[in-house]
Amino acid sequence: MTSSQPNVLIVQGDARETELVMELIRDVVRAQVDSTNSGERAIELVSRTPYQLVIADCGSVGVDGMYILERVKAASPSTSVILTSPYATIDEAVKAMRLGAEDYFKKPFNPEHFKLAVRRCLDRRALFTGDQAVSGLMMLLNACQLVSGFLEEEKILETVTSYLRRETSPKGLALFKLVGDTRVRVPSTSELDAEVVEVIVDGQNAIQACREEKVPLKHVPRTGSSPEVAVFQFKCVGDGEYFVVCLAPTWTATPEEVVSRFRLLQAQIGMTGRNIQNYRGVRHLLYLDEPTGLYNTRYLHLCLDQAFERREKTGDGMFSVLFLDVDKFKSINDRFGHLVGTKLLFEMGQLLRTTLRKSDVAFRYGGDEFVALLNGTTATEACALAEKLRVAVEKNDFLAREGLNIKLTVSIGVANCPEHAKSKREILDSADGAMYAVKRASRNRVYIAEKKAA
């Protein structure tokens, strides 16, 4: 790749759309453009190529835009990222911006606006290229931006270690957590690397010295056969103290400058840690659907994102989704009124919770529609659970205590990952499609989604 041209990576599952995006980029600048239809391949490319810009599509099969955004920013904070999606929502756009995306476009988008965003990203990167001091501040700014957007401590730890690895270029790095006097090494992607660091740290007692002196950085110079060590200290969530140990660091700035930058990151970590604690205290309210007592669609999308992320990382993790719709609910509302309708939805929610297994999660999708996430189930097992639920609803006398004894039925669609879907959008669409097939046919039945063509 020529150094005079910016490097751009397109992550897109559709070859035709990839060509369209390439044309828009070439309208803006002469660039070296690579493309891939695989999220994992994209991460691999970013790890070894200095891309100025990554453009990822969230709606493509095999491409998880948010996951790519997080991984790119962790590996190369100065790389700009633009996300596109046919299913963009306000929540997703806010999440993308908090994770460091430069822009987020809902397809179809205005080509001129897209080209302007590309130009802005490349101009921004060029502004900081070649100035080491400014580049260091940019790395710090990006790390702080990432940390501020996280609600999971694990992601903060990953960002901090990645930042210090870039800042100090050590021969080895390990992260330790101290609770009281108990020290635990946090697992990392390079366990052998971390084990070597731990042996050296034990001999130098550097972590304890850093803790006792209450300094953000403890620098232990090379002595005899012992290599130079730098220990960075910070707190995140709760009472635990973290120590990042860098073995034989190569300083791109003076240690004093590094300490000054790290103090700012330290402060951001502390603020975010307090936010996480506050968030954990009210999180259940954020994800609760008050009329039914079930979880809401916000939590459904979070659970599905996590399920597919686990599957992408491990290659395993079967699960199924049920999509339920209460038959002729509008006529019930018209006959008895909305107050009774709301009470019916609440009782329906309770019936779902008592009928499903403890490992399953039920959600209100909207109106009289419900979704259930069945972890570790095949399509056949999910159909059996769906039928059990259908029968329970059919036999139940709703609002019996109020003397109404209302009879209801439900239409249920079933979809399984990986049998019917390999993405969040696919599994919801497949289960929803099966449910609507029931509605068109007869209602009060369980249908399974059609298998995807190979």
Residue 453 included in any domain: no
| Tally of structural domains, the chain | 3
- Looking at the fold, whether 308 and 422 belong to one and the same domain comes out as yes
Reported as a single tens digit per residue, the pLDDT across 116-156 is: 889 888 876 665 555 556 667 777 877 887 788 788 888 89
Percent of the chain scored above 90 by pLDDT?
37
Q: What is the pLDDT of residue 19?
A: 92
CATH number at residue 31: 3.40.50.2300
Q: What is the pLDDT of residue 86?
A: 83
Q: What is the pLDDT of residue 1?
A: 43
At 176 the three-state DSSP class reads strand
- Looking at the fold, whether 296 and 437 belong to one and the same domain comes out as yes
- Looking at the fold, whether 70 and 58 belong to one and the same domain comes out as yes
Q: What is the pLDDT of residue 420?
A: 92
296: left (phi over 0), alpha (psi -120 to 50) or beta: beta
Residue 409 has pLDDT above 50, yes or no: yes
- Looking at the fold, whether 400 and 364 belong to one and the same domain comes out as yes
- Looking at the fold, whether 122 and 142 belong to one and the same domain comes out as no
- What are the residue ranges of helices labelled H in 55-152? 65-75, 90-98, 111-128, 132-149
CATH number at residue 241: 3.30.450.40
Contact status, residue 362 vs residue 369, Cβ threshold 8 Å = no
CA distance 51 to 72: 10
Residue 189 has pLDDT above 60, yes or no: no
CATH number at residue 394: 3.30.70.270
Reported as a single tens digit per residue, the pLDDT across 252-270 is: 778 788 888 899 999 999 9
Contact status, residue 256 vs residue 262, Cβ threshold 8 Å = no
- Looking at the fold, whether 443 and 353 belong to one and the same domain comes out as yes
Residue 380 included in any domain: yes
Q: What is the pLDDT of residue 62?
A: 61
Residue 212 has pLDDT above 50, yes or no: yes
pLDDT band at 67 (very low <50, low <70, confident <90, very high): confident
- Looking at the fold, whether 81 and 138 belong to one and the same domain comes out as no
User: Which tops the pLDDT comparison, 433 or 224?
Assistant: 433
Q: What is the pLDDT of residue 127?
A: 54
Q: What is the pLDDT of residue 443?
A: 92
| Bridge partner residues of 33 (DSSP) | 8
Residues 6+ apart with CB under 8 A from 248: 170, 171, 172, 222, 227, 228, 229
- Expressed as residue numbers, the domain containing 419 is 288-448
Q: What is the pLDDT of residue 227?
A: 83
- What are the residue ranges of helices labelled H in 293-397? 297-314, 329-336, 338-355, 379-395
Reported as a single tens digit per residue, the pLDDT across 342-392 is: 999 999 999 999 999 888 999 999 899 999 999 989 999 999 999 999 999
Reported as a single tens digit per residue, the pLDDT across 283-312 is: 777 888 888 989 999 999 999 998 998 888
- Looking at the fold, whether 220 and 142 belong to one and the same domain comes out as yes
Q: Please, what is the Cα angle at 106 between 100 and 109, to 5 degrees? A: 115
For the chain, the average pLDDT equals 86
Residue 1 included in any domain: no
- Looking at the fold, whether 392 and 372 belong to one and the same domain comes out as yes
